[in-house]
Structure 1
Amino acid sequence: MHNVVDLKVLYFGTPVVLIGTRNLNGTANLAPMSSAWWLGDQCMLGMNTASQTTQNLVRERACVLNLPSSALAAAVDRLALLSGSPVMTPHKIEKGYRYEPDKFAAAGLTQLPADLVAAPRVAECPIQLECEVLASEPFGIGTDAVAHTVRVLRAHVADELIIPGTAHVDPVGWDPLIMKFCEFFGDGTQVHPSRLATAWQIPSPATSH
């Protein structure tokens, strides 16, 4: 049996990405997101038009997609309600965002330089993908969103995740942090409470019955 439900969130589960970009003044910005999909050596990133990350992507034409494991959920959550821009939209003010110029320090993460692009890597992330921005186009109808198409130029992968003698990631050893309906999951289990879910007033199974 199925029920007809007016779903408030269509967010069935995608890997979390920490997007490293360079600000206009040369400092680093780091933004968590999970609206990403992949095909070949390219990736589409869905972002808010007014975000600092979107501004940096359009201007710099480069980024690093840092993929955290589920063990980094707490660090990612510390970034959830931070903005890299001092100019807040009414939406961000309503959700409780605050301006933070040093996202790495706020999250307790370590900044590393990239090899090919002027954007930061995250040392703690087991996979770091240096990318060039190919296109940035409006997305959807009646939305304030943009779809950025990026191409992976270089991949940095932790030694323990590489299948020996190959150029492949071990799918058993790789435990990506997944955001499912704004909650953090890893290996099929909820791994950390989410500030974003609280801000969006999304009920958890423990509180919805």
Structure 2
Amino acid sequence: MLTLNTSDLTPVQLQNYLQYAIAPRPICFASTIDAAGNINLSPFSFFNLFSTNPPVCIFSPARRVRDNTTKHTLENVLVVKECVINIVDYAMVQQTSLASTEYGKGVNEFEKAGFTMLPSQLVKPPRVAEAPVQLECIVTQVIPLGDKNGAGNLVLAEIKLIHIKEEILDSEGKIDQAKIDLVARLGGDWYCRVTPENLFKVAKPLTTLGIGVDALPASVRNSTVLTGNDLGMLGNIENLPTPEEIDAMQGNSKVKEILDATIGDAHNRERELHELAHQFLAVGNVEDALKVVLLELTQ
């Protein structure tokens, strides 16, 4: 494993390693305004949601690594403490990238990138009409993290109004994760796109306590077939099955086939039962998977 001491790296090297590793990152497409009324629009991937009560997003217009200068967005929010965080979908990504060009002070990136300015209801900066979600925010605090090249400036933006395009909502009025078509930043010039094909769910252990991986037998924990994801799913189950439930799995046709074919061959029996459990887990059948891996211990 490559081990690096951050104090030995240049800001450019640090940026490269960290932005490739800490990814994907959501994109904050921030519209701001200065005291003279000049509008600015710029994307930032040092961004996330940090609180829901109060609802607070934080994004960071870092000092330029190249020459340690600050960005117009930062200068604007220090004077006019308002912004709109526009969420970026795939249909906007090329124009959003264009808006990141370092145009001179006073240049309106809405016009340069071809976006439509939509008046906000509460704050002065306009919204991006094309954005699927627009968050009108009051900037409550700006926290500088340093004064050297690449130093961040945390902009704490409290969300006051949320605007959501109706076409990304489901039948219950909630945002449909498959419809919003989000994009995110990776390292270098790389982006990724959230599509229905690459979405998956992981159950949250909110109301129950999983037995934990440590409660599984050593042969299961050290399996050469079961993956870390498999063990995590097994460890998230609330209770171990009863001996009767485990024994009943012998009636499963696939289990019976394995047991009959591996009489006197404990090694292959364990491997094949673990492979069957892996197949069960792949389709979300955690309870039967656990019974299968525990069954080989009773034979």
Cα offset, 1:141, TM superposition? 7.8
1:164, 1:28 → 2: CA distance?
37
Secondary structure, counterpart of 2:61 in structure 1: strand
1:144, 1:44 → 2: CA distance?
15
1:72, 1:9 → 2: CA distance?
27
2:171, 2:124 → 1: CA distance?
31
Counterpart position of 1:94: none
1:180, 1:78 → 2: CA distance?
17
TM value normalised by structure 2: 0.53
1:70, 1:84 → 2: CA distance?
27
TM value normalised by structure 1: 0.75
Q: Higher helix fraction: Structure 1 or Structure 2?
A: 2
2:146, 2:181 → 1: CA distance?
31
1:19, 1:135 → 2: CA distance?
16
Counterpart position of 2:36: 25
1:88-167 alignment runs, 5 A limit: 101-139=107-145, 142=148, 143-166=150-173
Counterpart position of 2:176: 170
Q: Higher strand fraction: Structure 1 or Structure 2?
A: 1
1:147, 1:74 → 2: CA distance?
26
1:102, 1:56 → 2: CA distance?
13
| More moved, 174-183 vs 2-11 | 2-11
Determine whether 1:56 maps to 2:76: yes
2:175, 2:2 → 1: CA distance?
40
Counterpart position of 2:57: 43
Of structures 1 and 2, the larger Rg is shown by 2
The question of whether the paired residues in 2 share the 8 Å contact of 1:52 and 1:83 is answered with no
Aligned length: 172
The question of whether the paired residues in 1 share the 8 Å contact of 2:178 and 2:194 is answered with no
Determine whether 1:187 maps to 2:186: no
Cα offset, 1:81, TM superposition? 2.1
Counterpart position of 2:25: 14
1:54, 1:77 → 2: CA distance?
18
Cα offset, 1:107, TM superposition? 0.5
Find 2:103's aligned residue among 72, 83, 91.
83
2:2, 2:17 → 1: CA distance?
16
Cα offset, 1:67, TM superposition? 0.6
The question of whether the paired residues in 1 share the 8 Å contact of 2:27 and 2:45 is answered with yes
Unaligned stretches of 5+ in structure 2? 5-12, 64-69, 196-299
Post-superposition CA distance 1:4-29 (Å, at most 9, x none): 46763312221112100112221311
Unaligned stretches of 5+ in structure 1? 86-99, 189-209
Cα offset, 1:102, TM superposition? 2.1
Cα offset, 1:62, TM superposition? 0.6
Q: CA RMSD in A?
A: 2.1
The question of whether the paired residues in 1 share the 8 Å contact of 2:28 and 2:59 is answered with no
1:66, 1:144 → 2: CA distance?
24
